[in-house]
Amino acid sequence: MLTAVIALAGLALLASFGLAMAARAFAVKVDPKVEEIEEALPGANCGACGLPGCSELARRIAEGKAGVDACPVGGEAVAHMVARIMGQEYEGGGARMVALVLCDGGDQVARKRFFYNGVYDCVSAALLFGGDKACLYGCLGLGTCAGICPFGAIDMLPSGLARVDPEKCTGCTKCVSACPKGIIKMVPAERTVHILCSSHDKGGKVRKYCQVGCIGCQRCVKEAPEGAIEMEDNLAVMRYEFEVPATVAEVCPMNTIHVSGAGASDRKTAAGGGE
């Protein structure tokens, strides 16, 4: 009995000594900052920074190869925390950006050209004549963007449109590159007036295809402050550097311009909103 205890205790001592030596000899030196930074990052491993995951970004930031605000998802809050860990000052960048789907042509108001019965995915649908919508710039509504959003910020409305919830959106821009129609744009979260159309078709065509499309009448251009809305190939485009009054929405004959927090319930979420 006693021999067994002594023998085991001896073995344990020997093994622990061996482990202690090994830990010292093969120690991997990790900058403690890396772990701290990783802790501070959102941890979604979304890839929005262009790196394989949050730990890789943490390593780069600790090495000084990436800025403290390199995580587009974390925004200012994370940037401040990371800056504190790195012992740097962070003055704060620009405005918080959120994604916005620039189409309001739901099934009730936008014409379809044919019945699509293929793979339930926008990119696949766009392979066939650019999708079933008559308007080639319209939201196909099969939810590719909603599926790819790592933060569950995109909802598919019953009308067959994708809508970004500006509260949940972290600005990772994954949906922007996933949309085969290229109609998701990044806009400052504090702006409330938006032109929800991407069609570069001429007015006559737009009227045929959709009841809420921009027909290029330019009334909003005249109503808005100089330079705030510009015409680009038959489409009124908002310049978000400018503040635009909500009255601009009232002059639009097609109801293409929306003010968040106003109008029908569907439209409440339609436009991006402020914080």
Partner 1 sequence: MARGTFAGGVHPAYNKELANRKAIEEMPVPQRLVVYFAQNLGAPPEPVIKKGDTVRKGQVIAEAKAFVSAPVHSPTSGTVKSIDVFPHPVGTDLPAAVIEPDGEDAWAEGCDVERNTDSLGPDEIKKLVQGGGLVGMGGATFPTHVKLSPPENKKINVLIVNGAECEPFLTADHRLMVERADEIIEGAALFARVLGVERIVVSIEKNKPDAIEAMRSRASGRKGFSVAAVDVLYPQGAEKQLIYSITRRKVPAGGLPMDVGVLVQNVGTCFAAFEAVRFGRPLIRRIVTVTGGGIAEPKNILARIGTSFEDIVEFCGGISGDTGKVISGGPMMGVAQYSLGAAVTKGTSGLVFLRRGEIPQFVSDPCIRCGKCVTACPMGLNPSALSIFTERMAFDEAEEFNVLDCIECGCCAYVCPSRRPLVHHFRRAKAEVRKKAKRTG
- Give residues in contact with partner 1 (CB under 8 A): 113-114, 117-119, 121, 123-124, 127-130, 136, 148
Residue keyed to tokens 């702006």 = 191
Neighbours of 202 (CB within 10 A): 12
Compute the least distance from the CB of residue 195 to partner 1, in Å.
24
Q: How far apart are alpha carbons 272 and 275 in whole angstroms?
A: 10
DSSP state of 225: P
Closer to partner 1 by Cβ: residue 15 or 119: 119
Whose tokens are 């974390």? That residue is: 74
Closest CA to 240 of 176, 186, 183: 186
Residues contacting 205, CB < 8 A, separation 6+? none
Nearer to partner 1, 124 or 255 (CB): 124
Give the nearer residue to partner 1 in terms of CB position, either 26 or 115.
Answer: 115
- Widest CA span of the chain, in angstroms? 99
Q: Which is nearer to partner 1, 33 or 205 (CB)?
A: 205
Q: How far apart are alpha carbons 153 and 170 in whole angstroms?
A: 8
> Chain centroid to CA 128: how far?
27
Q: Which is nearer to partner 1, 72 or 130 (CB)?
A: 130
Q: How far is the CB of 215 from partner 1 (least distance, A)?
A: 19
Query: What sections of 143-209 are H helices per DSSP?
Result: 144-148, 174-178, 203-209
Type of residue found at 271: A
C-alpha angle 198/125/121, rounded to 5°?
95
CB of 124 to partner 1, least distance (A): 5
Compute the least distance from the CB of residue 51 to partner 1, in Å: 17
Q: Which is nearer to partner 1, 3 or 117 (CB)?
A: 117
Least distance from C-beta 132 to partner 1, angstroms? 8
User: For residues 92 and 6, what is the distance between their CA atoms, to the nearest angstrom?
Assistant: 64
State in angstroms the smallest separation of the CB of 184 from partner 1: 17
